[in-house]
Amino acid sequence: MSITWSESTVTEPVGGIPALGAAPFSQWREAVRWAVLGELEDFLLRACPRPLHRLGAHDVLRQYATGGKCLRSTFMYLGWLCGGPDDPAALRAAAGLELLHAFALLQDDVMDRSATRRGAPSAHVRFARAHRGMGAPGSSTRYGESAAILLGDMCLVWAEQMLRESGLAESALAHAWPRYDNMRVELATGQFADLLNDARTEPALASVLAIARVKSGNYTVRCPLEMGAAMAGCDAAVLDALGRYGAAVGEAFQLRDDILGIFGSQAVTGKPADGDLGERTATSVVVLAREMAAPSARTELSRLLHRLHLGPAEVDRARMLIIESGAPERIETMIADLLACAENALHTANFSAPMRAALKHMATACTERVA
């Protein structure tokens, strides 16, 4: 999909995107997503070096950068609309966050040794297969991991390039750079902390939630919203309200992800059904299950998580112990409480009725998802 934007100041709806509130929100959101994907497709066709096309890099980029729900770019564009008009340059700037997300996913899959991403082989697996297919010397596994890391590095560079070359005024971008830098450092810090995140060490829930905020929640919701709003020149009251809304929704988003990591269907999530349990990831669900389970069940769950390998029967048993502990219901209550906090935050600043409704819809989309 290729979209050509005018360089003039835009006051009309952008490239097929209806004005916020002029159509059902689902229609608006889907139009934004397609516009973002169009921008990404156009950019990657220009930016990805031709030699990498022959190695399959462009197909991997499409899988990682254009195969998602575009949550981060949508939140950033909504942040912009809190103080600015519909603008193709702002949309292009927001689209770059999908490349930052691709960078994080590529790294994640290598670090977690994930075999699949979005229902297809993960990048390092695909590159390893290509290496074997070429009959190249050396370790195919090592090549695949290295290639995926290098492609992630390119996505990190390209994400900033899309923002810098978006067409937004330098004065607007100046408000974004400090927040963008902080977001990237926070994301990497969360990844560092996650390296030691192992259910066998029995971490405290507060520690697990803190890692989740910086590794996922903040860069999914709060930071994109604040970046967009700052670029649009929003006042302190709006930025504060968006920050509190974003922090709450981001944490709720990660809690839902933790539920899906244990109970989600691989056919729907596109990730291994035993991923979090098989990797002994200390998610909120697992930590709470240990805290809430009866002593005998806690001992059995701990014994399962210390095994070198969990087969299907052991995974099913671990799930049952988690359910019986009451942890999933507690997580659902935490999600509901966070959504209430997010909604309250929206009443502390002067948002338009369509914006307030859009942010409520996005909160629901982040927490009632199945993938």
Structure tokens at 226: 């604040």
Query: Who contacts 165 (Cβ-Cβ below 8 Å, separation ≥6)?
Result: 92
Q: Percentage of the chain with pLDDT > 90?
A: 68
Check residue 198 and give its pLDDT. 67
| pLDDT tens string 46-89 | 998 988 888 889 899 999 999 889 999 999 999 999 999 999 99
Q: Examine the pLDDT at 307 and tell me if it is beyond 90.
A: no
| pLDDT tens string 322-342 | 999 999 999 999 999 999 999
As a whole number of angstroms, the distance between CA 141 and CA 29 comes to: 39
Structure tokens at 206: 């507060």
Check residue 14 and give its pLDDT. 67
Average pLDDT, the chain: 89
Check residue 309 and give its pLDDT. 82
| pLDDT tens string 196-237 | 776 667 778 888 888 878 777 899 999 999 999 999 999 999
Alpha helices in the chain (DSSP H): 25-47, 50-54, 57-65, 71-81, 88-112, 123-134, 140-164, 170-194, 205-212, 223-231, 236-263, 266-269, 275-278, 284-292, 295-305, 312-325, 327-345, 353-367
Nearest Cα to Cα of residue 77 among 12, 14, 16? 14
